[in-house]
A and B are shown apart, each in its own frame.
Chain A
């Protein structure tokens, strides 16, 4: 095979840079998510079986089965979850992403994000809020009730509002948020505010009751991370444009399911390279200790894969307080990422780095050659289902993922 890696990667980068992810709409998962089925549970991270799942993911599965009406109570749900009647599949294999446990079932409403440049779509559920929520593995009545409200009120209101608002280009919104102190993984406050601002007039114009519209606005307002469930599918839409360019060593997926970390590479179509999910180093909320923490979990590392999140730490220095660092440390984390990326984002510019574009296009070869791992900022989940977030900090993928991917790449392309 005569493939010039530099050329292949340049092609991949160009496709990523050219992406224009917009909010297309909202619909029920079964209607729009490719391959969705009544008995299918989508989850964050690489493929995993029930037996291997960590606490938060198991809890979320239980909650999902109850929500979907497939089980009447937690103990039924557990039995069902372990049986062959329920199928599990990574969100990434269905053109979507999910934060933390990332569990999605057929009846859940999802954001539809479209990359106008290539017409492809990506999906993500709507963010439930903070505290005891499904994505941290909670499955109490309160959780189910909230999920139902999202299905019956939040989603329909927003679905109706979207066509009444100007088209929302997520790339532009993220670019602006980056210049307002967000990195759209752990800091989404500015982006959430801008989203509400864009949708509020349209929401008021829909024909739902005053009370419903007010509750929708209050709900979004109460959750600083509401935008995360849009930044993630936007990042996925951008990276998806590089899949699956022959010979390219650009990393298009980084994700975790609470047990394993998984990556995918543009030139290695559909293949997962996994290793143990790592423990996060950071600050724990009062009352929690190291032994309470779950390993790294969630598809939110898609933001880092796209040059946001930990890669743009220089844009959101407040994050480093979680790791006892300084503003200068935040800048250095971003600087280090330029060593393992092929390009700089044309859209996402970081004011503190003199508006330099964020490090974009993680190159597998550079990660291996320089022994520098991508830097991820993330929340820490309690290892028991349903307790919630116990802290935040820094984490890296295991090098094994990249070593295995390199081995597979050499086997595919370099045997004469």
Chain B
């Protein structure tokens, strides 16, 4: 568990996806936060989301294959 334990000693730096007040509260505390104006991918279009997921899955395989070499 050494990796997780060493994380316990670090400053938390946050990427916030969704509710803006979570990011605002963190900023108030002086925490480094990157708020994201998140929107559903592909404008909410399920068909496009599925196609993009196929591309992502393919690329994961390609990259994993390369890493193995």
- Show the binding face of A for B, using Cβ within 8 Å: 2-5, 365, 368-371, 399, 403, 406-407, 409-410, 413-414
Q: Are B51 and A410 in contact (CB under 8 A)?
A: yes
The distance from the CB of A405 to the nearest CB of chain B, in whole angstroms, is 10
CA A370 to CA B57, docked complex, whole Å: 18
CA A33 to CA B52, docked complex, whole Å: 38
Interface size class of B (residues with CB under 8 A): 10 to 19
- Show the binding face of B for A, using Cβ within 8 Å: 39, 41-43, 45, 47-48, 51-52, 54-55, 57-59, 62-63, 65-66
Residue in A3, A365, A406, A407 whose CB lies within 8 Å of B62: A3
Residue in B42, B54, B57, B59 whose CB lies within 8 Å of A371: B42
Q: Are A4 and B62 in contact (CB under 8 A)?
A: yes
Residue in A371, A399, A406, A413 whose CB lies within 8 Å of B58: A413
The distance from the CB of A27 to the nearest CB of chain B, in whole angstroms, is 43
Q: Are B55 and A2 in contact (CB under 8 A)?
A: no
Q: Are A4 and B55 in contact (CB under 8 A)?
A: no
Q: Are A365 and B55 in contact (CB under 8 A)?
A: yes
Residues of B within 8 A of A413 (CB): 55, 58
Residues of A within 8 A of B57 (CB): 414
- Other 15 A-B pairs with CB < 8 A, given A369-B42, A410-B51: A2-B62, A4-B59, A5-B55, A365-B52, A365-B55, A368-B51, A370-B39, A370-B41, A371-B41, A406-B48, A407-B51, A410-B55, A413-B58, A414-B54, A414-B58
Q: Are B55 and A409 in contact (CB under 8 A)?
A: yes
CA A4 to CA B69, docked complex, whole Å: 14
Residues of A within 8 A of B43 (CB): 371, 399
The distance from the CB of B67 to the nearest CB of chain A, in whole angstroms, is 11
Q: Are A369 and B59 in contact (CB under 8 A)?
A: no
Most buried by B among A2, A370, A414: A414
Q: Are B54 and A4 in contact (CB under 8 A)?
A: no
Residue of B nearest to A409 (CB): B55
Q: Are B52 and A4 in contact (CB under 8 A)?
A: no
Residues of A within 8 A of B59 (CB): 4-5
Also in contact, A410 and B48, with CB within 8 A (given A2-B65, A4-B59, A369-B41): no
The distance from the CB of B55 to the nearest CB of chain A, in whole angstroms, is 6
Residue in A368, A409, A414 whose CB lies within 8 Å of B42: A368
The distance from the CB of A68 to the nearest CB of chain B, in whole angstroms, is 44
Residue of B nearest to A4 (CB): B62
Q: Can you spell out 22 A-B residue pairs with CB atoms less than 8 angstroms apart?
A: A2-B65, A2-B66, A3-B62, A4-B62, A4-B63, A5-B55, A365-B55, A368-B42, A369-B42, A371-B39, A371-B41, A371-B45, A403-B48, A406-B48, A406-B51, A406-B55, A409-B55, A410-B54, A413-B58, A414-B54, A414-B57, A414-B58
Residue of B nearest to A247 (CB): B62
The distance from the CB of A413 to the nearest CB of chain B, in whole angstroms, is 7
Q: Are A368 and B54 in contact (CB under 8 A)?
A: no
The distance from the CB of A200 to the nearest CB of chain B, in whole angstroms, is 51
Residue in A2, A3, A4, A368 whose CB lies within 8 Å of B48: A368
The distance from the CB of B61 to the nearest CB of chain A, in whole angstroms, is 8
Residues of A within 8 A of B52 (CB): 365, 368-369, 406
The distance from the CB of A109 to the nearest CB of chain B, in whole angstroms, is 44
The distance from the CB of B45 to the nearest CB of chain A, in whole angstroms, is 8
Residues of B within 8 A of A3 (CB): 62
CA A410 to CA B39, docked complex, whole Å: 23
The distance from the CB of A144 to the nearest CB of chain B, in whole angstroms, is 47
CA A330 to CA B24, docked complex, whole Å: 29
CA A410 to CA B48, docked complex, whole Å: 11
Residues of B within 8 A of A369 (CB): 41-42, 52
